[in-house]
Amino acid sequence: MPEPGNIENLQSSIDHHHDIDAATMLHLTYVYGPVASRRLGTSLGVNLLPVETKVCNFDCPYCECGWTDSDRPAGKMPSLEVLTLELETKLIECRDRGIALAAITFAGNGEPTLHPKFFEIIATAGDLRDRYATGAKICVLTNATRLTLDRVRRGLLRADVRQFKLDAGTEGMFRLVDQPYGALTLEKIVADIIAFDAPKMLQSMFFRGEVKGQRIDNAAPEEVAAWLALVVERIRPEAVHLYSLARRTAATNLQAVPAAELDAIADRVRHLGIPAEVF
């Protein structure tokens, strides 16, 4: 789940190299940054997926990691030990250089909740945060497809911020925009989010274009109306973050939705009594 929003590398001496592979669009490390995020502040990113392949149960055409290679974790998933070592090393570097982290964000080369040790990793990150970066929030960006798994639920409850991705208000648009693997449905995801008994935020990507000969426009008036009615009104999240394309995408012929259109959608969310921001 790559992180949306305007991000630029902090020109700190911590990261001399660019941590995204230009050809594959994948993160080259398990812990990357810090990056300056308009949404999250100064943030360390944690990638729980392999560095050489993208693992997700969605195949969003707009994904900044390229097309999905697999929906199943292979033998190449980073171990809890490796992740702990990389994160602790980076947190110590940040502390020693006086970098005040606002967030430790779980995103990376796919869907973070697919890692079999998701709960242990989030819990360990919380312990490391308490030791080295007390001001940092543990944030998880997820497509919300695995909320009924006990280890995923417990891991998300240990996080400080949960951002659930919801890009559509109809099953048809959901299948176009997110291209889920298997029998995943929007209705099941929405029901699971509603049942998730803790504060939650939504993040929604709007874009238009053509993929595999099919026109996609989840910002069309009827789609926005369905998204508002089915998603925002039913879920009643703490806040909604809206964004459009800002970086390279898996599909090449997509167009960003202009900021004015996103602002108009955000106004309608606010009209329903839910805070909304455009990034």
Stretch that binds ligand SF4, among 34-42, 63-71, 150-158, 224-232 (CB under 6 A): 63-71
**In the complex, minimum distance from the CB of residue 184 to ligand SF4, in angstroms, rounded to a whole number:** 11
Closest approach, Cβ 4 to ligand SF4, in A, equals 9
The sign of the dihedral angle between the CA atoms of 160, 43, 79, 247 is positive
Q: With CB under 6 A as the contact rule, which of the stretches 23-31, 52-60, 86-94, 187-195 interacts with ligand SF4? A: 52-60
Answer yes or no whether residue 68 interacts with ligand SF4 by CB under 6 A: yes
Of 63, 138, 168, 184, the one binding ligand SF4 (CB under 6 A) is 63
Of residues 71 and 223, the one with the C-beta less far from ligand SF4: 71
* Shorter beta-carbon distance to ligand SF4: residue 98 or 182: 182
User: Does 111 help bind ligand SF4 (rule: CB under 6 A)?
Assistant: yes
Are residues 203 and 241 in contact, defined by beta-carbon separation less than 8 angstroms?
yes
Is 58 an interacting residue with respect to ligand SF4 (CB under 6 A)? yes
Closest CB to ligand SF4 among residues 111, 223: 111
The one segment of 51-59, 119-127, 187-195, 264-272 that binds ligand SF4 by CB under 6 A: 51-59
Nearer to ligand SF4, 49 or 91 (CB): 49
Q: Please name which of 145, 122, 128 lies closest in space to residue 56, comparing C-alpha atoms.
A: 145
Q: Report the C-alpha dihedral over residues 82, 40, 268, 156, rounded to 10 degrees.
A: 30
Residue carrying the six token digits 């944690």: 46
3-state SS string over the chain?
CCCCCCEEECCCCCCCCCCECCCCCCECCCEEEEEEECCCEEEEEEECCCCCCCECCCCCCCCCCCCCCECCCCCCCCCHHHHHHHHHHHHHHHHHCCCCCCEEEEECCECHHHCCCHHHHHHHHHHHHHHHCCCCEEEEEECCCCCCCHHHHHHHHHCCEEEEECCCCCHHHHHHHHCCCCCCCHHHHHHHHHHCCCCCEEEEECEEEEECCEEEECCCHHHHHHHHHHHHHHHCCCEEEEECCCCCCCCCCEEECCHHHHHHHHHHHHHCCCCEEEC
Q: Which of residues 157-176 bind ligand SF4 (CB under 6 A)?
A: none
User: In the complex, what is the shortest distance from the CB of residue 228 to ligand SF4, in angstroms, rounded to a whole number?
Assistant: 21
CB 182 to ligand SF4: min, Å? 14
Q: Minimum Å distance from CB 168 to ligand SF4? A: 12
Q: Which stretch binds ligand SF4 (CB under 6 A): 54-62, 82-90, 122-130, 189-197?
A: 54-62
**143, 163, 218, 249: residue in contact with ligand SF4 (rule CB under 6 A):** 143
Smallest gap from residue 53 Cβ to ligand SF4 (A): 12
- Residue from 110, 169, 209, 237 that binds ligand SF4 (CB under 6 A)? 110
Q: Which residues of this chain interact with ligand SF4, rule CB under 6 A?
A: 1-2, 56, 58-60, 63, 65, 68, 110-111, 143
